[in-house]
Amino acid sequence: MLCPVHHDRPTGGNHRAQDSGTISLDGADLAKVPVWSRSVSTVYQQFINYPHLSVYENIAFPLRRRSLPAAEIEQRVMTVAETAGLGSLLKRLPGALSGGQQQRVAIARSLVKRSDLLLLYEPLVNLDYKLREQLRDEFLNIFAAQGDSILVYTTADPNEALLFDAEVLVMHEGRLLQVGPAQSVYARPATTAVAQIFSDPPMNLLPTTLDETGLRLADDVRLARAPHLHALPPGPYILGIHPGDIALDSAGISAQVELAEISGSETFLHVRHGEMTFVAHFSRVHTHAEGEDVQVALDAERAFLFTPNGKLAAAPAPASGG
C-alpha cells in the first residue's frame, strides 16, 4: 500500500524524540522496539550510500548484517537491482554514478530488506527536473513490486501525490488536515488551506458574494451562477479557482500583468484587477510585459465556494479525465 503524505515544505531539519502518542505496526509499539529490530526502511531526500562499497555491496549491506545465506543475498540483490534499473551498474562505486542512479541505489538497499514499512522522505527533491520526471515513472513500477509492504512517501509536491494516486494525508504545521484518495482530495478540498496546499500553483482564493444571479467579485466583475452552486444560500463566500481554469479571453475581465513566469513550456501569469490578484496557468509559452493589459476569463463551471471561515461549501464535478 502506497500512502503519500503531502505537506508544506519544512523550515528546519531538527529532529526530536517522540513526546506523546504511539507509533505502532502490527500491534507493536515501535518506540519500544530497538532500531535494529524494526521492520522499517527509510530513504532520505539526500541519498546516502557507502562510498567505498560497490553498488552490489551497498544493496547487500543490510542482508549481510543479518547474516543471511550467500545464495539468498545473491538472489535478493539481483532481483531488486533489476527492478531498480541497476543490473548493469553493480560493480561500480557510487561516485561513478549519476544523482538519479545513486538515489536508486539507496532505494534498492531499502527495498531489499523487505520491510513491513518503507518511509521515503522527499526522495526526489535534490534531483534535477528530468531525473525527477524519470524516477517518478520508475517508482510506480518499483512500488508495485512491493506486495503487502506499507509505503509512506512524504512530498511537498502535490503533483507527485496525484501521480501515485493513492491514499493521501495532507499536513500543515504538524496538523493533519484531510485524508482520502488523492484525486478525491484534489476534487473536494475540505478547507481553503487544503485547496492551496494541494494545488501547484496554489488555488486562487477571492472574496465574493453569491446572490440569485451569480457571484459578485467586484462592482464590475460578476460570474454566472453555475448549476453546482444552485443549492447554496445567498451570502458571502470565498471563491476558489485553479490557475488552470483561468483563460485569456478578449471578452473577459480587464487586468494588468504583474509578472509572467515562463517555466519550460508553461507560463504562470500573475495579474491584478483593482484589489484582486490571481495567477493563471497556461500550458504554452505566453510572453507578456509587466504592466501590460490583458483580458482573462474565470470559468464559473470550475468554481469552488468556501464559507467565510474556510470550509468547503460547493465543488464542481471532477474535470473529465481528472
Choose the final residue of a domain: 140, 165, 193: 193
- Asked, for residue 320, whether it belongs to a domain, the answer is no
Global pTM value: 0.81
Residue found by looking up cell 483580458 in the block: 295
Asked whether the beta carbons of 223 and 214 are under 8 A apart, the reply is: yes
Q: Are 303 and 284 in contact (CB under 8 A)?
A: no
Residue 13 to residue 165: CA distance in whole angstroms? 28
Residues 108 and 48 placed together within one structural domain of the fold: yes
Looking at per-residue confidence, does 133 or 177 come out higher? Answer: 177
| Closest listed residue to residue 122, CA positions, set 85, 81, 158 | 158
20-34, 122-136, 240-254, 255-269: least confident range: 122-136
The beta-carbon contacts of 201-204 under 8 Å, at least 24 apart in sequence, are: 201/243, 201/268, 201/279, 201/281, 202/279, 203/240, 203/241, 203/242, 203/243, 203/304, 204/239, 204/240, 204/241, 204/242, 204/243, 204/246, 204/278, 204/279
Nearest CA to 3 out of 174, 196, 202, 146 is that of 146
Can you tell me whether residue 308 is helix, strand or coil? coil
CATH of the domain at 216: 2.40.50.140
Q: Is 34 inside a domain boundary?
A: yes
**Alpha helices, DSSP H, located in the chain:** 55-65, 70-83, 99-111, 129-144, 158-164, 182-187, 192-197
Q: Are residues 176 and 280 in the same domain?
A: no
* Domain end (from 193, 214, 230): 193
pLDDT at 14: 52
168, containing H or E segment: strand 167-172
What does the alpha-carbon distance between residue 203 and residue 237 come to, in Å, rounded to a whole number?
A: 15
Q: 155, 172, 193 — which closes off a domain? A: 193
State how far the alpha carbon of 170 is from the alpha carbons of 56, 154, 198, 203, in Å.
37, 10, 8, 15
Q: Kindly tell me the sign of the dihedral angle through the C-alpha atoms of 9, 15, 16, 22.
A: positive
Taking the mean position of all CA atoms in its chain, how far away is CA 18? Answer: 25
Residue span of the structural domain in which 77 resides:
2-13+29-193
The answer to whether residue 11 scores a pLDDT higher than 50 is no
For strand 28-29 and strand 24-25, is the pairing parallel, antiparallel, or unpaired? antiparallel
| CATH for 92 | 3.40.50.300
What's the CA gap between 240 and 313, in Å, rounded?
Answer: 11
Asked if 276 and 297 sit in the same domain, the reply is yes
Whether 153 and 41 map to the same domain: the answer is: yes
Name the grid cell of 119: 518511509
User: Taking the C-alpha atoms of 87, 89, 93 and 95 in order, what is their torsion angle to the nearest 10 degrees?
Assistant: -120
- 124 belongs to a structural domain: yes
Q: Give residue-wise pLDDT tens across range 179-225.
A: 999 999 999 999 999 999 999 899 999 999 999 889 999 988 999 99
Whether residues 49 and 116 share a domain: the answer is: yes
Question: What is the total count of domains within the chain?
Answer: 2
Whether 189 and 210 share a structural domain: no
Q: List Cα–Cα distances, 71 to 78, 85, 90, 92, 221, in angstroms.
A: 11, 21, 17, 21, 72
Residue 233 has pLDDT above 70, yes or no: yes
Q: Which three cell numbers stand for residue 234?
A: 445567498
**Is 319 within the bounds of a domain?**
no
Assess whether 67 and 150 both reside in one domain.
yes
Share of the chain above pLDDT 90, in %: 51
Interatomic CA distance for residues 142 and 2, integer angstroms: 11
Residue 10 has pLDDT above 70, yes or no: no
Residue 296 lies in a domain: yes
pLDDT tier, 123 (very low <50, low <70, confident <90, very high otherwise): confident
In tens, the pLDDT along 197-207 reads 999 899 999 99
Q: Is the pLDDT at 110 greater than 50, yes or no?
A: yes
